[in-house]
Structure 1
Amino acid sequence: MASHMPAGYAEDRLHRYLAHWTRDPSNVSKLDIAAITWATEEERRARQKKYCQVASDYYDLVTPLYEQGWGQHFHYTPLTPGLSIRESMTAYEKTFSGLARLKKDMRVLDLGCGIGGPARTIASTIGCRIMGITNNAWHVERGTALTKEAGLEHLITFIEGDFLKLPFADESFDAAYSIESLCHAPDPAEVYREVKRVLKPGAPFTFHEFAMTEHSPAPWYYGPAGDIGWAWKIPGWPDFWKVFQMWDPFRGCAHAVYRVMILVGMAPPEVSTLMDTMWYCTRSVVQGGRMGIFTPMYVFVCRKPAGGLES
């Protein structure tokens, strides 16, 4: 099977994505904290207008890194005592499919499907037919390859498209779901309208999404926090190396190594910016979890009115 690294994975991917988050696109070798943290309304609106390109450039860059370091399931998960992060993800996806009212032979829409980790868990468990849509071409190619390797190509299909302009007929799906993807939409209400259009009357729509909240289930964030103490206790070795790579001392050492590589010309300066960007985002999520004001795992269960499109 093909490598998880796409052909031509090169520096231009770094430039394309990092240029969205700086006030000086000609210089992306340094993290522009002001542009990220104190963006003006004008800057936010400009990014929202090109949301598809921003999201696609992001996943062009990070998908191989996510798959290598985190696995094929690009989402956070409630932790199950005694299970590793990966095992907890699989267990959660099965629970999620129950909340989503998914059943055998249903035609199901997966919005923002990534490379199809959750879709493969759900389809293999339930036997429903899943159509995954993503705005990233590499997700379609990689997801299709992984699905064929798993022997699930008869149940899962991937297409490239925009979930604000779904390329499907009215009332053509029995159910729909999304997992940590609606956060990329400039206006989630537009997604809801499109989902309502393509769902059959009475069909469910379930999504797992980022949300601000007064309380968060802890410690879901021990992985991105690099908390090797929790990694050792829950469940032991299966998570240890994955979490160790996010531990601050390890990150500091890795950053030092890359700085030497940059200095001697073995890596472009933008690699340092990428590492800073990923660390900044990860630590922001962790801090929100520790404060109890944010969770990436808020689940909404909805249903299209039985009366149809005009209800």
Structure 2
Amino acid sequence: MKEDFKMAKSGALDLATGVGGSIKKKDVESAVEKYEKYHVEFGGDEKTRKTNYTDMVNKYYDLATSFYEFGWGESFHFADRWKGESLKESIRRQEHFLALQLGLKRGMRVLDVGCGIGGPLREISRFSFVSITGLNNNEYQIARATELNRLAGLGNSCDFVKADFMKMPFRDNTYDAIYAIAATCHAPDVFGCYKEIYRVLKPGQCFAAYEWCMTDHYDPTNESHKKIKAEIEIGNGLPDIRSTHQCLDALQKAGFEVIWEKDFATDSALPWYLPMDTSHFSLSSFPSTAIGRFMTRVMVRMLEFVRIAPAGSMRVSSLLEKAADGLAAGGRKEIFTAIYFFLARKPLTES
């Protein structure tokens, strides 16, 4: 419980110095402005976001990663949750579940597509005794992930490759298993992304993922629904949010056999968005509670005022609060899910 209560392992000063990632500190505020202009609220559109997805997503993670680690830990994703289970326990269980679904075992070559700072990679590697390569196109996240791997004693068994998951630098039929956790939602073209994953996966092997999707309850003509979708997109660096049906269709068109799929939000004992719900108090997700948010806001404002944190830090914090509100609203209305799961196989012989 004491560990859960900590607002972050890295602490406030690490948060302050990490804001901006690889962006020069003097350029952080202008980077926030450029990022915002990709989105509807600031005059942007879906076509521009998809065309410039590499720049948009890199800016987002440069700006947001230290906040994520400060408030969320090393695994940047949600999970279905049992009663009596802490947020961290649910995240760890979900990562173990994914490893079991893929049948991971010692000696397999595994790829984590869009690995963030490697939280799931480290947990799955230790759980399954496998070596995992993390693919990421963000320089700052790879540097941070490499350091965390070293501290965890995994520097020699797991590695990272800086590359775009739309054009991976791997030969055909390279990996025994591939997974993605809340990552391929950043792809400008989900079919192209899944097709590239299909290419580098060995025949007969599996790809598993947790996707962010709009559900059947989403109504594109409903202004309230559209506003929530836009808030999630701007707050999370997304070019567009696809439906569960679009993801399934893209998988099948890419050549995969879908073994099974499920939106785990539909029967989660506790709502997946509970950590974002400011009306709920929990020690295990304290930074996301109303009090936690207020404390973070005051701290970031002070750090920016005394110039420890770069100018623009408060704007990033506000952007992420908006993201949290959009996620909670989307989950509450059941128009959005952050835990849509599927397991798919590449056939032994292509038709």
TM, length-normalised to structure 1: 0.82
TM-superposition CA deviations, 1:90-148 (whole Å, max 9, x none): 11110111122322211011100011100111111111121110011111111111112
Name the residue aligned to 1:122.
Answer: 124
CA distance in 1, matches of 2:307, 2:201: 53
Q: Secondary structure at the match of 2:203?
A: coil
Name the counterpart of 1:22: 37
Counterpart residue number, 1:26:
none
Matches for 1:217-256 after TM superposition, within 5 Å: 217=268, 218-229=270-281, 231=282, 237=283, 239=284, 242-243=285-286, 245-248=287-290, 251=293, 255=297
Name the aligned partner's letter for residue 110 of structure 1: D
Alignment correspondent of 2:195: 193
Letter in 2 for 1:294: F
- Quick one: structure 1 residues 18 and 203, their matched pair in 2 at CA, closer, same or farther if it must change by over 3 Å? farther
Please provide the CA RMSD for this pair: 2.8
Q: Secondary structure at the match of 2:175?
A: coil
Question: For 1:100 and 1:286, how far apart are their aligned partners in 2?
Answer: 30
CA distance in 2, matches of 1:86, 1:15: 34
TM-score, normalised to structure 2, is 0.73
Q: Which runs of 5+ in 1 are unaligned?
A: 24-31, 232-236
Percent of aligned pairs sharing the same letter: 33
What residue in structure 2 maps to residue 28 of structure 1? none
Matching residue within 74, 78, 84 for 1:82: 84
Contact 2:22–2:139 (CA under 8 A) maintained in structure 1: no
Gaps of 5+ in 2: 1-9, 218-264
Q: 1:7, CA displacement in angstroms?
A: 7.7
Secondary structure, in 3 states, of the residue corresponding to 2:28?
Answer: helix
Q: For residues 66 and 247 of structure 1, what CA distance do their matches in structure 2 show?
A: 15
Q: Does the 8 A contact of 1:225 with 1:286 survive in 2?
A: yes
**Secondary structure in 2 matching 1:200:** strand
Counterpart amino acid of residue 61 in structure 1: L
Once the two structures are TM-superposed, the CA of residue 66 in structure 1 deviates from its matched residue by 1.1
Preserved contact between residue 164 and residue 194 of structure 1 (Cα < 8 Å): yes
Residue 157 (structure 1) aligned with residue 159 (structure 2): yes
Shift of 1:80: 3.0
The answer to whether 1:99 aligns with 2:141 is: no
Letter in 1 for 2:30: H
Q: 3-state DSSP class of the match of 2:276?
A: coil
Matched, 1:34 2:86: no
Distance 2:211 2:154 in 1: 26
Q: 1:270 aligns with which of 306, 312, 317?
A: 312
Instruction: Confirm whether residue 288 of structure 1 aligns to residue 330 of structure 2.
Output: yes
Q: 1:129 to 1:276 in 2, by over 3 A?
A: same
Count residues in correspondence: 285
